[in-house]
Chain A
Amino acid sequence: MTEATQSPQTTARQVWIGLLARARPDRVAALLPDMPDHAVLRPAEVGAVMVRGRMGAVGAPFNLGEMSVTRCSVRLAEGTVGHGYVQGRDKDHARRAAVLDALMQTGQGPVVQADVLNVLAAEEAARRLARAEKAAATKVDFFTLVRGEDK
């Protein structure tokens, strides 16, 4: 589905499911220590997905490699269904991500957004910034080199 035909709700849900998928399992557990009552529709199971890429983001797609993915589906006591797809093999992580996905669709959405998702988003941004800074520190600026004929 292209972005043009996608509803804003779907786009927002993709953002938080993606955030939960990339988050550290221990951080998700720390931010949501007690899960509300829920029934497991599909128990957590580990599988692999093929990650594909495009050279320069525009070329022909190629298979980059497989990565472990764990998924789980739950239903809260009031009936909301949530799905969790997370990287790695932590089944507890997948279950918490599914519970959080379900909670985000209930009236508790704004609370979860503030207490869990915003924190995870800030941590992810800090992680990315730290990595970018570390990479930037090793950058070599070739334009400072002076060649003899420029004199």
Chain B
Amino acid sequence: MSLDLQAMTGGFDDAPVQSARAFRAALDALSRPGMIVTVTGAVPPAPLSVAAGVLLLTLVDGTTPVHLAGDWDCALVRDWITFHCGAPLVSPQDAVFAVGCWAALQPVGRFAIGRADYPDRAATLIVEMPLLVNDRMRLAGPGIADTALLSLPEVAAFQDNRALFPLGFDAFLTCGDRLAGLPRSTRVEAV
């Protein structure tokens, strides 16, 4: 397939139904930190994972600037987002959504954390993970009955982010067709 064509395939076939299901899955993941959900419907170009592609198709449009970090900032991914979402591609400071692996997103202090009067004006990071399992880090906070486990890329950055509450960024962790949510309200510690 030519570059142009790959950028134009892989969107939702039935956008109203698929995006509603994906939105529900994203909502579940973010309101139950530690819960891993499976999503389908998008076939984005590499290195975007299926889950990251579904999140972009569902949450991103012309009013939500996106930052692509590291290897994710390639011509094919840019064209795919432009064709399917129509989102402007911007620098980290202006981004409402950011996509990339954890290393490429560093330093995460660059991203918007909202303001005291508008805490919702914060960035959402879509962190592509090589592995996503319920292990290694303990989560606690709203949406978690006792504690939950999740394999986060690191602890310190999320503890710093929690200290900013009610400001701070929110994150989705994606791996293949699975995703988990980590809102700014979650307390994180290493097991």
B117 at interface by CB-CB < 8 Å? no
Chain A interface bracket (under 10, 10 to 19, 20 to 34, 35 or more): under 10
Q: Which of A9-17, A52-60, A73-81, A128-136 lines the interface with chain B?
A: A73-81
B9 at interface by CB-CB < 8 Å? yes
Q: Are B5 and A43 in contact (CB under 8 A)?
A: no
Q: Which residue of A lies closest to B10 (CB)?
A: A41
Q: Which of A42, A43, A45 meets B8, CB within 8 Å?
A: A42
Q: Are B84 and A81 in contact (CB under 8 A)?
A: no
Footprint of A on B, CB under 8 Å? 2, 4-5, 8-9, 11, 13-15, 83-84
> Could you say which residues of chain B place their CB within 8 Å of the CB of A73?
8, 83
A-B contact pairs, 8 of them (CB 8 A): A41-B8, A41-B9, A41-B11, A42-B83, A43-B15, A75-B5, A75-B8, A79-B2
Task: Give the 4 A-B residue pairs with the shortest CB-CB distance, closest first.
Answer: A41-B8, A42-B11, A41-B9, A73-B8
Q: Is the interface of B mostly helix, strand, loop or mixed?
A: helix
> Could you say which residues of chain A place their CB within 8 Å of the CB of B5?
75, 79, 81
User: Smallest Cβ distance from A119 to chain B, in angstroms?
Assistant: 30
- A-B interface pairs (CB < 8 A), number: 21
Q: How far is the CA of A79 from the CA of B3 in the complex (A)?
A: 12
Q: Are B83 and A81 in contact (CB under 8 A)?
A: no
Q: Are B4 and A42 in contact (CB under 8 A)?
A: no
Q: How far is the CA of A79 from the CA of B2 in the complex (A)?
A: 9
Q: Is the interface of A mostly helix, strand, loop or mixed?
A: strand
Q: Which of A41, A73, A75, A79 has the most CB of B within 10 A?
A: A41
> Could you say which residues of chain A place their CB within 8 Å of the CB of B9?
41
Q: Which of A41, A43, A79, A81 meets B14, CB within 8 Å?
A: A43
Q: Are A81 and B8 in contact (CB under 8 A)?
A: yes
> Could you say which residues of chain B place their CB within 8 Å of the CB of A45?
15
> Could you say which residues of chain B place their CB within 8 Å of the CB of A81?
4-5, 8
Within 8 A of B (CB), among A16-44: 40-43
User: Smallest Cβ distance from A8 to chain B, in angstroms?
Assistant: 21
Q: How far is the CA of A45 from the CA of B4 in the complex (A)?
A: 21
User: Smallest Cβ distance from A48 to chain B, in angstroms?
Assistant: 13
Q: How far is the CA of A43 from the CA of B8 in the complex (A)?
A: 11
Q: Which residue of B lies closest to A73 (CB)?
A: B8
Q: Which residue of A lies closest to B13 (CB)?
A: A43
Q: How far is the CA of A18 from the CA of B13 in the complex (A)?
A: 26
